[in-house]
Structure 1
Amino acid sequence: MKIKPFKVEEWMNEYEDDAVYNIAETCVDSISLDELLALTGINRNAFLDDLASQRLTYGAIQGAAPFKAGICGRYRNIQPENVLSTHGAAGANHLVFYSLIEPGDRVISVLPTYQQLYSIPEAFHADVQLLHLKKENDYLPDVKELRQLVNEKTKMICLNNPNNPTGALIPLDILKEIVAIARSVDAYILCDEVYRGLNQDGSYTESIVDLYEKGISVSSMSKIFSLAGVRLGWVASKDKAVIEACLSHRDYNMISCGMLDEMIAAAALKHADKLLERNIQLIQNNLAILDQWIAENPHFSYVKPKAGTTSLIYYDFDLDSYTFCKQMYAKTGAFVTPGDCFEQPHSFRIGYACEEQVLKDGLAAITRFANQL
């Protein structure tokens, strides 16, 4: 099977390790196990003793019960049987496409978004149609355009809410319109919800699985819980056929997730409110810093993010985004992601949920580079 190069991941793999100012990272500032235990108030010695005493078996094949219970708490009406654990949200997205999409199926995906949502179904020889999100529309899906793309062969509509890279947040009324369109052709809606829970105003965002009987939610421990190192995600759906298909295909490529990882994730989810309090405060403070920087630097512009950890920033220099980002990296050590990784020229993605001083220093480095241009 041939698949297009994963642009954003190849970029991160090549340059991330040696960055001086890494403001390309998309997770909220990561924490250690010690920090997790301190933040949540879990007894360190008791937890580590329990962790160390475990026999290292395959664990619970479909996901440990405490982990799945914690996942259910992220939704209004999801039960453990509606959930499968996966190797990150990347594993979850791949599993859904691998399990449900066949050659000739129409798959509609928003753009820009995480490349998995259109390149994987394309590799499976689906009829992929792109719903372009426009800056002038605050990067929100145009339901009129979506209706024109949908036909009787439409198998799946792919959303990303909150959006990566723009930080756009789809309002409930638009989500409901998209559900009505999907229902009219009996299509699934796959929504990558890895940033769900990080709204700038602290409000709650409805999941697609609580709005639609054929909704499929994908999420992980990486972005909003600052625990990318446990490499855990999940698929959630009330559609029994979805879970059965994913479980059948999952047997071929993963069997189960790491039992120690699931113990750590379960502990974090049990105290999700404390982690989210920390992380929402961080993104609110850091977006204020980014917003002030935009106001002070006229060469740059953006649509202010509503949620998540990322923003797409446009510049007015006569350089393509790869050249811009490579030259800036070489001269200043500031590391961002070229907009062309998301098919968005003359822009770059910034991850503003890093440690505050890293963000300030990284933005100062961008300013120095811009002044040289």
Structure 2
Amino acid sequence: MKYERALLEDWMRDFYYDADFDLGSSGVECITFGDLRKTANISLNELDQIVLKDSDSFGGESLREVIAKRWGDNNPEHVMVTHGSSEATYLILNSLLDAGDEVVVLNPSYHPLVSIPEKIGCDISFWNMDSDSGFSVGMEELRELMTDKTKMLVLNFPHNPTGVTITLKQYHEILSIVSEVDAYLLWDGAFADIVYDTDPLPNPLIYYKKSISTGTFSKSFGMPGLRFGWCTASREVLEKLVPLRDRLTLHLSPLTEFLAEKAILCIDEILKNKRLQAKENLKVLEAWISLHSETITWAKPAGGVAVFIKFKGITDTESLCKDLGERWKTLLVPGKCFGYPEYVRLGFGDNQAKLIGGLKVLEEYIQKIYLTEEEDHTHNSIHE
């Protein structure tokens, strides 16, 4: 089973590391190890005491306890820690699905949620978000897609790349729909902790035993380099992940587990700063877009720190994003990476000074584009 290269990851490799302004990433500003040590009150003596031995396949008990209390159903037996949520996603999809299984996936989606079931040989149906109404979702459309043959429903809210989320009423309706056909529900909760005008949605496992939720330090907490994630599910489901994990990573480093547990114990303080930064950055972005409403359209995000935006008259943003990356050292992600070439993913999670700097570059660039178009139009009109 061989995979093609992932467009999104290739794009990030090409333009992320050299960018002066990051307007493409979907996570908050990263913290330093010093920041974490200070916030979590980690001493050098504690670090010196860590024994670099093998860890439990599911994760240390005390670590699973704090995850279960914070993001799960209070049962540590329903938690497995992983190398980011990417490993969790890979384990879940490859362990629970077989060729020919029917899977319903939200569209657009983060690429592994689609490419892995495709490579397994699943029959995929897409629950398409309505781009004409701010990427909203239709419950009737979902109900029509779900059948007695559906093996799994794959969702991500708050959504990457649009920032859209669902209401609590819609959430419970989804649980009702998936339970009626007795399908698995894979719930990607990477952005669950950053929402703007509502409370975070609860873990579906609390209400539906065939739910599997994934979480990560990468998006809402500013620690992607720790490569720490988890999944919560019934013990029966988690046991099904073990054979594949035994052939991949086996377990996490005890150093990673130690730092992760320390971080979770002070996660409210970390999250408080990240939520405040996200809200203030969203205000900056909203004001900026309002100044360019004649050329840019968007749907204000309800969660996360990324949004899909559309430039008037541009049907494929790849060359625009490439030019910005190569010549202007500013990262934007073309919508092609999500199957929507007319859009770009704009991330606003970086520190505010860099966000403003990046928006100034983007403003200068789009003014150049549309001014050139107007000049060309005027020139052509004169000579008609």
> Same fold judged by TM-score > 0.5?
yes
1:286 to 281, 287, 302: 281
Map 1:108-127 onto structure 2 (within 5 A).
Answer: 108-127=104-123
Q: 2:30 corresponds to which residue? A: 30
CA-based RMSD = 1.5
Whichever residue aligns with residue 339 of structure 1, its letter is: G
For the Cα contact (< 8 Å) 1:95–1:246, is it kept in 2?
yes
Match of 2:125 in 1: 129
Q: Distance in 2 between matches of 1:192 and 1:318?
A: 31
Match in the other structure for 1:296: 291
CA shift at 1:202, angstroms? Answer: 6.0
Q: CA deviation at 1:205?
A: 1.9
Which amino acid letter does the alignment assign opposite residue 206 of structure 1? P
Aligned to 1:142: 138
Per the alignment, residue 260 of structure 1 pairs with: 255
Partner Cα distance (1:137, 1:74) in 2: 34
Aligned residues: 368
What's the counterpart of residue 243 of structure 1?
238
Counterpart of 1:344 in structure 2 is 340
Provide the C-alpha distance between the structure 1 equivalents of 2:315 and 2:105, rounded to a whole number of angstroms.
28
Give unpaired runs (5+ residues) of structure 1.
none
**Deviation of 1:103 (Å):** 0.6
Which residue number in structure 2 is paired with residue 107 of structure 1? 103
Q: Which residue of 1 aligns with 2:151?
A: 155
Q: Which residue of 2 aligns with 1:169?
A: 165
Deviates more, 1:301-310 or 1:3-12: 3-12
Mapping 1:197-212, distance limit 5 Å? 197-201=193-197, 203-212=199-208
Q: The residue matched to 1:18 in structure 2 has which SS? A: coil
CA contact (8 A) 1:84 1:247 kept: no
Deviation at 1:208, TM superposition (A): 1.8
Deviation at 1:75, TM superposition (A): 3.0
Equivalent pair of 1:202/1:280 in contact (CA under 8 Å): no
Identity %: 29
Aligned-residue offset at 1:319: 5.2
Cα contact 2:318–2:341 (8 A) shared by 1: no
The alignment status of 1:273 with 2:268, answered yes or no, reads yes
Give the Cα–Cα distance (whole angstroms) in 1 for the partners of residues 139 and 92 of structure 2: 24
Q: SS where residue 70 of structure 2 aligns?
A: coil
Q: Find the structure with the greater CA-based Rg.
A: 2
Q: Contact between 2:159 and 2:304, CA under 8 Å: does it hold in 1?
A: yes
Structure 2 runs not aligned, ≥5 long: 370-384
Contact 1:89 1:218 in 2 (8 A): yes
1:161/1:192 contact within 8 Å kept: yes
Match in the other structure for 1:313: 309
1:85 and 2:53 equivalent? no
Query: Following superposition of structure 1 onto structure 2, how do residues 347-358 of structure 1 map, counting pairs within 5 Å?
Result: 347-358=343-354
Give 1:137 shift: 3.6
Spell out, residue by residue over 1:173-210, the C-alpha distance to the aligned partner (whole angstroms, 9 max, x if none).
Answer: 11111111111111010010011010113623212222
From 56, 62, 68, the equivalent of 2:64 is 68
The Cα of 1:152 is off from its aligned counterpart by: 2.2
Report if aligned partners of 2:51, 2:254 keep a CA contact under 8 Å in 1: no
| Partner-residue secondary structure (3-state), 1:139 | coil
- In structure 1, how many angstroms separate the alpha carbons of the residues matched to 2:193 and 2:267? 10
Determine the C-alpha separation between the residues in 2 that align with 1:131 and 1:257: 34
Instruction: Report if aligned partners of 1:325, 1:338 keep a CA contact under 8 Å in 2.
Output: yes
Which secondary structure state, in structure 2, belongs to the residue aligned with residue 78 of structure 1? coil
**Greater Cα offset, 327-336 or 282-291:** 327-336
Mapped contact 1:339–1:349 kept (Cα < 8 A): yes
Shift of 1:50: 1.5
Q: 1:75 to 1:20 in 2, by over 3 A?
A: closer
What residue number does 2:215 align with? Answer: 219
Alignment match, 2:377: none
Give the distance between the partners of 1:31 and 1:128, measured in 2 at CA. 38
Contact preservation (8 Å) 1:75, 1:210: no
Q: Which amino acid aligns with 1:39?
A: T
Would you say the 8 A contact 1:21–1:358 is kept in 2? Answer: yes
Q: Check whether the contact 1:219–1:234 (CA below 8 A) recurs between aligned residues.
A: yes
Equivalent residue for 2:230?
A: 234
Checking the alignment, whether the CA contact within 8 Å between 2:26 and 2:349 is kept in structure 1 is yes
Determine if contact 2:22/2:332 at 8 Å carries over to the other structure: yes
Letter in 2 for 1:19: A
Task: Output the amino acid matched with 1:203.
Answer: D
Q: 1:178 aligns with which of 174, 180, 204?
A: 174
C-alpha distance in structure 2 between counterparts of 1:100 and 1:319, whole Å: 38
Give, in angstroms, the shift of residue 48 of structure 1: 2.3
Q: Hey, what does 1:15 align to over in structure 2?
A: 15
Contact kept? 1:167, 1:308, Cα under 8 Å: yes
Q: CA deviation at 1:76?
A: 5.8
> Residues 156 and 187 of structure 2 are in contact (CA less than 8 Å); yes or no, is this contact kept in structure 1?
yes
Displacement, 1:23? Answer: 1.7
Normalised to the residue count of structure 2, the TM-score between the two structures is 0.92
Q: 1:222 and 1:65 mapped to 2: Cα distance?
A: 22
